């Protein structure tokens, strides 16, 4: 282009019915680009480009017209270039003549003074055999203007790679209907150049495969997986804080601390207009509502909800996908879930994270849950990054003791304790019973439960911290009532479930709460524990001596940590009585056996040291501890008592066993502020910092606190 006669002419053509061909042409002259830009602005119908064709033998065809289809402007560093993608207005005969050369058609847009180009004028009136219909719409013109506008600073060049790939593959494979949808997908894809390059490479690979080959289907599956991801789906977060509060309060009873923390999270998101993801870890026993809390968060935010359970994960490939070289390779669960729900920012529940196999699978979870890494999460199957940073992750666990610290550090831990009996009664009355009545086709007037009957179900049939078994028991009662009504063989008179007729529905109670565990003989003590289900319980610790050589035997299916606690307590006791006159006869001529009943149940944890020490002390002195007393806490060799966990559950377990006095570590004093007064009613809490203080309380000795010192003999009883 430049000094000679311009071969770029623009004109308006009438409709025609001849098929078109696609070509590309480049301009480097700013003046020529301005001509086209202004022409598109001035003509709201169609714009055509006058150009020439050259074939391999050097001959130049007649000057023809082409309808502009797409324009890309870029700065190559050597000057402005403008690339046109246009539709050739050739009839079939003319195209066949050009095709006889059996070579690709090259498009020339150069100076008219070029020696090997025989420039010919084209009559703008010749609209007979060189015309094409298919009008440009207003939307098309907007796209053209947007592309050309990049020359004038109206658009950055971030789309260069996308358009160049699109042009390349559409030019090469535009007639291939098998891959045309993938080409169009790349053209409209809202993703990074790295992703576009990967997908275009796969399209190119597909175009070279025969449909009969196995790799053809592999390519198809990969491209379909990439297309299914929510690339262009907008973020959705528009919620009312008042409505969110109502949803969370309506769906759960109690849980004040948990609800407050969730509402605070939502309030901050609303205040900052923040749609970034979050990572919340709900820790608590089964059946306390961790999953339903996650659903409530999704409802409150107005987001889609999805979940997967780590319990079904065998290794890290279930999370990050399989390599394509494997037979039956597929993406990981996260990518699959996002494809299925078609959302970029759902609330995703990762259930039972504490069941994850250790090692590589936990490292894979670390990549998913780390805000600095999940922005560019790379599924092994797809092998390109996808942003997970907008997802609100809600992780659940029963016990996080064995989880790696780097993983815990990425999550905000929210503890969900078990329910009290009073809370369970409210939950059953307000939620569980209405739900089961509706599920089984009964109205509120057809069957009712007395409050004492609900308490009997809780205490006699459901030994749990949550309410899952409570709902099952209620469901069983309702089903049997419906059956009796339908068969006209009534189980009870009337329609009210009472404590005295409960056995007709549920049989003999599973738990006998009339039996109170006592420690009324020397060498026995009551310790407090929390089971793997999050249920607080009372353990009877028994110590006996037999003639021997000072050895100690531990039984009751004890774990390594609790065995160490027993050994530490025994060593502390020997030091405590080291100067006593009976020391040698007692410790050197006896063997000692420590046992915790219910040996089929595994027991472990760092909170039994105080109870062990008191039991050994009781055996040595021959004095039983005071009635209705239980204790929890760990000791070290110096006799200091250290903090424990699960205080609320342990107090609940103590109350079920009619315990009145509870010894706890002084370091746990702060935890009492978070425990409802309802739970603390009826018990006396005794915080202590040394085992000598615990001894004074256990044996009901009146002594000034000033006399309790670190000297082992000063407060001996």
Residues with active-site annotation: 607, 650
- Distance in angstroms (rounded) separating the CA atoms of residues 458 and 535: 13
Residue ranges of the alpha helices (H) in 442-531?
451-461, 468-487, 503-506
* Cβ atoms of residues 113 and 40 within 8 Å: no
The backbone torsions φ and ψ at residue 445, rounded to the nearest 5 degrees and listed phi first, read -85, -15
Partners of 70 in the β-ladder: 85
3 state DSSP class of 185: helix
Maximum distance among all alpha carbons in the chain?
129
The backbone torsions φ and ψ at residue 107, rounded to the nearest 5 degrees and listed phi first, read -105, 130
Residue 251: is it exposed, middle or buried by C-beta count within 10 angstroms (0-12/13-18/19+)?
Answer: middle
Q: Which residue has the tokens 């149940």?
A: 601
Hey, what's the torsion of the CAs at 329, 331, 333, 338, to 10 degrees?
Answer: -150
Angle at 461 between CA 456 and CA 463, to 5 degrees: 110
- Distance in angstroms (rounded) separating the CA atoms of residues 671 and 462: 27
The backbone torsions φ and ψ at residue 498, rounded to the nearest 5 degrees and listed phi first, read -120, 165
Report the candidate in 404, 409, 475, 415 with the shortest Cα–Cα distance to residue 441. 475
In order of 79, 168, 176, 207, the CA distances from 172 in angstroms are: 27, 6, 9, 10
| CB crowding 544-573: b at 16 or more within 10 Å, else e | bbeeeeeebebebebeeebbebbebbbebb
Q: Which residue has the tokens 């796209």?
A: 143
Q: Which residues contact 77 (CB under 8 A, 6 or more apart)?
A: none
- Distance in angstroms (rounded) separating the CA atoms of residues 59 and 39: 30
- Distance in angstroms (rounded) separating the CA atoms of residues 654 and 426: 22
* Cβ atoms of residues 122 and 109 within 8 Å: no
DSSP conformation class of 17: B
Provide the phi-psi class of 342: left if phi over 0, else alpha when psi is between -120 and 50, else beta: left
- Distance in angstroms (rounded) separating the CA atoms of residues 310 and 364: 12
DSSP conformation class of 400: -
Residue ranges of the alpha helices (H) in 342-467?
360-369, 405-409, 421-427, 433-439, 451-461
Which secondary-structure segment (H or E) carries 48?
strand 48-54
């Amino acid at each position: 282009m430049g000094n000679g006669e311009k071969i770029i002419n623009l004109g308006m053509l009438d409709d025609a019915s001849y098929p078109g061909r696609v070509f590309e042409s480049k301009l480097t002259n700013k003046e020529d680009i301005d001509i086209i830009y202004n022409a598109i602005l001035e003509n709201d119908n169609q714009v055509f480009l006058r150009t020439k064709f050259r074939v391999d033998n050097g001959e130049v065809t007649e000057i023809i017209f082409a309808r502009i289809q797409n324009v890309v402007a870029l700065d190559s560093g050597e000057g402005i270039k403008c690339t046109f993608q246009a539709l050739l207005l050739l009839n079939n005969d003319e195209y066949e003549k050009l095709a006889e050369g059996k070579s690709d058609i090259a498009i020339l847009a150069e100076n008219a003074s070029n020696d090997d180009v025989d420039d010919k004028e084209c009559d703008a009136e010749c609209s007979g055999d060189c015309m094409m219909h298919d009008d440009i719409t207003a939307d098309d013109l907007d796209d053209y203007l947007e592309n050309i506008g990049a020359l004038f600073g109206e658009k950055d060049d971030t789309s260069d790679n996308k358009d160049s790939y699109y042009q390349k593959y559409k030019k090469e494979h535009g007639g291939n209907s098998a891959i045309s949808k993938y080409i169009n997908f790349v053209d409209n894809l809202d993703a990074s150049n790295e992703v576009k390059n990967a997908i275009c490479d796969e399209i190119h690979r597909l175009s070279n495969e025969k449909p009969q080959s196995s790799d053809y289907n592999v390519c198809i599956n990969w491209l379909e997986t990439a297309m299914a991801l929510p690339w262009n789906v907008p973020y959705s977060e528009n919620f009312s804080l008042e409505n969110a509060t109502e949803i969370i309060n309506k769906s759960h009873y109690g849980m004040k601390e948990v609800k407050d923390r969730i509402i605070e999270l939502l309030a901050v998101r609303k205040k900052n207009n923040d749609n970034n993801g979050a990572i919340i870890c709900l820790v608590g026993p089964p059946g306390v509502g961790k999953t339903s809390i996650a659903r409530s968060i999704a409802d409150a935010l107005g987001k889609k909800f999805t979940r997967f359970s780590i319990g079904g994960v065998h290794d890290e490939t279930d999370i990050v996908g399989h390599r394509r070289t494997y037979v039956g390779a597929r993406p990981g669960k996260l990518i699959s879930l996002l494809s299925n729900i078609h959302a970029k920012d759902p609330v995703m529940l990762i259930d039972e994270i504490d069941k994850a196999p250790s090692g590589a699978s936990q490292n894979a979870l670390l990549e998913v849950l780390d805000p600095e890494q999940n922005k560019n999460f790379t599924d092994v199957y797809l092998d390109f990054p996808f942003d997970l940073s907008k997802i609100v992750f809600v992780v659940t666990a029963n016990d996080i003791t064995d989880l790696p610290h780097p993983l815990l550090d990425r999550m905000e831990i929210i503890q969900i304790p078990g329910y009290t009996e009073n809370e369970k009664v409210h939950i059953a009355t307000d939620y569980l019973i209405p739900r089961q009545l509706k599920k089984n086709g009964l109205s509120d007037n057809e069957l009712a439960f007395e409050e004492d009957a609900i308490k009997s179900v809780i205490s006699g049939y459901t030994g749990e911290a949550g309410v899952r078994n409570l709902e099952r028991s209620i469901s069983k009662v309702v089903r049997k009532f419906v059956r009796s009504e339908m068969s006209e063989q009534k189980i009870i008179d009337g329609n009210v479930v009472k404590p005295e007729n409960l056995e007709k529905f549920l049989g003999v109670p599973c738990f006998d709460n009339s039996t109170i565990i006592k420690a009324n003989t020397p060498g026995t003590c009551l310790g407090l524990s929390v089971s793997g289900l999050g249920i607080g319980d009372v353990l009877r610790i028994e110590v006996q001596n037999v003639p021997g050589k000072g050895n100690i035997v531990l039984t009751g299916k004890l774990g390594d940590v609790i065995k160490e606690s027993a050994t530490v307590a025994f060593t502390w006791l020997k030091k405590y009585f080291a100067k006593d006159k009976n020391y040698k006869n007692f410790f050197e001529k006896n063997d000692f056996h420590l046992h915790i009943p219910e040996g089929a149940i595994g027991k472990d944890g760092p909170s039994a040291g105080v109870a062990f020490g008191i039991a050994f002390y009781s055996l040595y002195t021959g004095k039983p501890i005071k009635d209705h007393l239980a204790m929890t806490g760990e000791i070290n060799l110096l006799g200091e008592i250290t903090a424990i966990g699960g205080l609320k559950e342990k107090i609940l377990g103590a109350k079920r066993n009619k315990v009145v006095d509870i010894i706890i570590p002084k370091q746990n004093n702060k935890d009492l502020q978070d425990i409802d007064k309802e739970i603390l009613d009826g018990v006396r809490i005794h915080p202590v910092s040394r085992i000598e203080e615990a001894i004074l309380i256990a044996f009901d000795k009146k002594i000034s606190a000033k006399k309790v010192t670190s000297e082992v003999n000063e407060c001996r009883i």
